[in-house]
Structure 1
């Protein structure tokens, strides 16, 4: 199917174009031309002055639309989570499973594989957040499942999920670097997180190939005057990017502003969104409060964000220019997973995953 989008301000990922049209065919962008020279596709969508931007990419989300994929992995819960994300501007997600037993991880791998086999769109792969983390920084994760990896653990992940697992969050100080290299060699992008690493430990792991970090500030050793911690190492290392939860709850907006000044294009957005679950048998309890989710013990355990809300917060609460906030939700996460040649820009040959944003911040995803 061919479509041409008209009557929009077009943010390409680099600049905003006025009086242009974007045409797509069979899932790819085929042209960006002045309106008078647009392709005659026979199917035009009038966006009525909205901003057309690359669709957002959420690399950490647990569930949506009343389904918690991370606890009850299935094609149905995946589809619900994708629908939630599309409603909030994200065409692509990395559904995430927290530290839990191998049965649930295996079910999540099978669910994503089945979703793809049935033609499901919008899922980039699986993000395993744990179980190889530091219990001192477990946050809301279940300590009984936390452990340092063995060769058998790595073999199990690669045998069962090599084609599905695309991100792993782990504490580098708790992991044998050789085992981490095996995961990376299999194409899994390693994020440092839930870590109590010293500055030296973290910086060394970054030099050794871990170039990403999960939810900056949350569940990691802080920046202090005599102990810079992993936050200090993230700030200081030129190759390390980090995700951040821009809801004003996980991280104060002033901390986001300071981090952005230091890290520039190395900082990107995630939602860390979840849905309510009160079934104790599932292992994790997620209780909805006004602007967050907490565990049964009151520990912060997830957000109520969409990617559009995160972008809006960055613009209105943090003071980040709109174009840069949009890149934080699209181009920079695409770059973190090595997909920046296909996602995160409106350019010829890129995937036709687009989001229209109106003056009220209401969004419509086209993909």
Structure 2
């Protein structure tokens, strides 16, 4: 029988989805499963976006321009300039989801063997994207004790070699929810300029900043125009994960020209998605105010409930809709599987994402779990009761 490639064998599995068979089996057994493993919001998609799809009227479902339609890029320009990005439609390349924005950016900016420094824990699929493109991830540890703040710049400099070509951040962060401060962003700017590095900024959770905290993009920092690659998606902003619509934003003309060639090779982003995305830009501000208030309430329920459980520690995140919590166990992969495969409380259980998959450093996150607060308040409270009961009787618990 023909063998699969080494790349296929070595491609990392998603920590977010790898326990799905156990969740499916739990459901078949009649258990209620609370899904805190994946960032799939239950918030309704804006009505203007859905209506745009319902009211589509075309005779041919045709290709679009490889860089995205001018109509959509023009609407996006309105959105980003309202945030102070000072861009034009030609600074945007539309992608099939945020995932393609990341892979095209990596292929446009980096050669196989080049290194990108990423504070960890980080979005698990960065490992997969790097594996696909031949890029080498150089992880730099952040720590739960200080809420996963940006590591000292001196620690970054220790990792920089002649092969280092980029730094990547996710702000607000997935999986930790950490929101980088203006001072931290300024420090990254100086580092990027000092070593002439790209600064990739994954901004999927830009709208979700809490407690009056300010979101700072590298697009807000003068002097970085040739270094910044903003990677974005409609998935979280409009609760439209299935639309698979993202974009790259950069003022670096050479990078855009290279990225366009990769975009041409995959032909074009979807027409229907761009029609919906253009309409979404007109989503009323009240929508985001309500969503932010809802997520703040959910975050408070989750963080407070976790910290009341004996042996659990959870920092209070400033953004996104995730937390990483430390549990009194030494193998969260085994624990998360046990919760689905063996445990139930009043015929309920909880699905979580082991944090090991969000680390590149061996043994990172062995006692940590990522939880997404994407369920309504009532379900979150029930899930936390269930989790507390599970931790009480888990045979692998450590003190």
- TM-score normalised over the length of structure 2: 0.26
Larger radius of gyration: 2
- TM-score normalised over the length of structure 1: 0.28
**More relative contact order in 1 or in 2 (CA 8 Å, sep 6+)?**
2
Structure with the bigger percentage of helix: 2
Structure with the bigger percentage of strand: 1
